[in-house]
Amino acid sequence: MALEISRKDIPEGDIVDYPSEDRFIKLPIMPYMELLGITPIPSQVAIINAINNPKYRFICGAVSRRQGKTYISNIIGQLMALVPNTHILLMSPNYSLSQISFDLQRQLIKHFDLEVTKDNAKDRVIQLSNGSTVRMGSINQVDSCVGRSYDLIIFDEAALVDGRDAFNIALRPTLDKDNSKALFISTPRGRNNWFADFFYRGFNDEFPEWASVRATYHENPRFSEADIDEARKSMSSAEFSQEYMADFNTYEGQIWAFNWEECTADLEELDISKMDVIAGLDVGYKDPTALCVVAYDWDLEKFYVLDEYLDAERTTEQHAREIRGLITKYDIDWIYIDSAAQQTRFDFAQNYDISTINAKKSILDGIGEVASLVDNDNLIVDQRCRHVLECLDQYQWDPNPNLMKEKPKHNAYSHMADALRYALYTFETSSTTF
């Protein structure tokens, strides 16, 4: 597979020497690379050309393993910092990865014998004598990075955590200069997450300021066939696709391999008058409360996810009001509720005339039931059900090697996944009794 570049005016062969008044990185790039002894590979060239192009403010690089993601990010960051009074933020998923960027910046500074006026290891901030600063941050401590103005924000390994709110709410306002930019670079982790969303914006004409680059192991000439053969033998097919093919469709640890092309549809006009309509309800207290509405076609033996509800920090009355609206809209026959939420079940019945049935909660059996439906394309999801689609993509096995048996990882996607599992598994194993 060839290097994939979303915009036709971004070349991949050589670094483009844009006029100095137009290009983002003001200093000559290749002489800097030569001093470091670096010959940039095609994916790095494409990313540099994308960020240097004055048309694009937001660049996404979906690249495979061993493409020098972190290294090229830090080089871009330092090239920017060599211009006086420029401010760079290098974001990482966590403290450990942030420390890698901090150490790299120190190495680059030492290599070029740059004068440093501040080197704060605790806060991971470096200030050069020219007034420029390079700050390292992590998604889980994003508040420490706000309140400043940045010329460039780089998100390294962006797909490892959910950084949508960190960027949209906390950091995007800090890009308050006309020519400030953001670079998101990572190996993909599924297709329904913030990084994938940002990546596909680069192919969408409705987002003209976005550009994207995708590179597989083929774009790294330093890979040998022996390296690739060894990787194929030592990895699952999902892990190889993720790590070496930069594939958004599958990844290691993914529980359900949902067929996006065949099983996502516009169901707004679907005739459900002859179908059974059910719902799964996972009650959260500190966590969100999740509900999904599902119709079953007995003739085609297919389930259709019609609607969803997900919200946190709301009262029982507020949840009940939303659920009552869905009951009325779809004429829901049965609601399968988490059997641990008996107080909520009682309150719903007594105070809000919402009748529920205890769901069957065998986790692995329920996951297996959903997997069977997914694998046979018997689960169709309305394209507007974002949370259901996210859980189908991002629900993962817990990687803890000390577990006695497999269990799903508890994360932001677990709640809707539980609601979906309650609905489908309980209905499938109980429907003959109705």
CATH number for the segment(s) 4-225: 3.40.50.300
Contacts for 112-119 with beta carbons within 8 Å, 24 or more apart?
Answer: 112/35, 114/82
Across 52-60, average pLDDT: 95
CA distance 9 to 324: 52
Per-residue pLDDT at 140 exceeds 80: no
Each residue's pLDDT tens digit, 263-292 = 999 999 999 999 999 999 999 988 899 999
Which range, of 248-252, 264-268, 325-329, 424-428, averages the lowest pLDDT? 248-252
Residue with tokens 């949508």: 164
**For all residues of the chain together, what is the average pLDDT?**
89
Per-residue pLDDT at 432 exceeds 50: no
Do 395 and 413 meet the contact criterion of CB atoms below 8 Å apart? yes
Which range, of 164-173, 207-216, 238-247, 286-295, averages the lowest pLDDT? 238-247
Across 153-173, average pLDDT: 86
Higher pLDDT, 344 or 231: 344
Q: Which of 157, 219, 369, 390 is catalytic?
A: 157
Tell me how crowded residue 44 is: count the other CB atoms within 10 A of its CB. Answer: 28
* Residue 209 known to be catalytic: no
CA distance 90 to 171: 12
Q: Say which residues have a Cβ less than 8 Å from residue 360's Cβ, sequence separation at least 6.
A: 336, 366, 422, 425, 426, 429, 430
User: 260-433, what's its fold?
Assistant: Nucleotidyltransferase; domain 5 (3.30.420)
Share of the chain above pLDDT 90, in %: 53
Higher pLDDT, 97 or 134: 134
**What's residue 150's pLDDT?**
95
CA distance 331 to 327: 5
Per-residue pLDDT at 192 exceeds 80: no
Across 376-397, average pLDDT: 91
CA distance 100 to 62: 20
In this structure, the chain runs to a length of 434
CA distance 147 to 338: 42
CA distance 62 to 69: 9
Across 287-306, average pLDDT: 95
Roughly what angle, to the nearest 10 degrees, separates helices 69-81 and 29-36? 120
**What's residue 209's pLDDT?**
96
**What's residue 434's pLDDT?**
42
Confidence of residue 387 (pLDDT cuts 50, 70, 90): very high
Helices (H), 37-116: 42-52, 69-81, 95-111
Per-residue pLDDT at 424 exceeds 60: yes
Domain parsing of the chain, residue ranges: 4-225, 260-433
Quote the DSSP letter at residue 433. Answer: G
Across 199-217, average pLDDT: 94
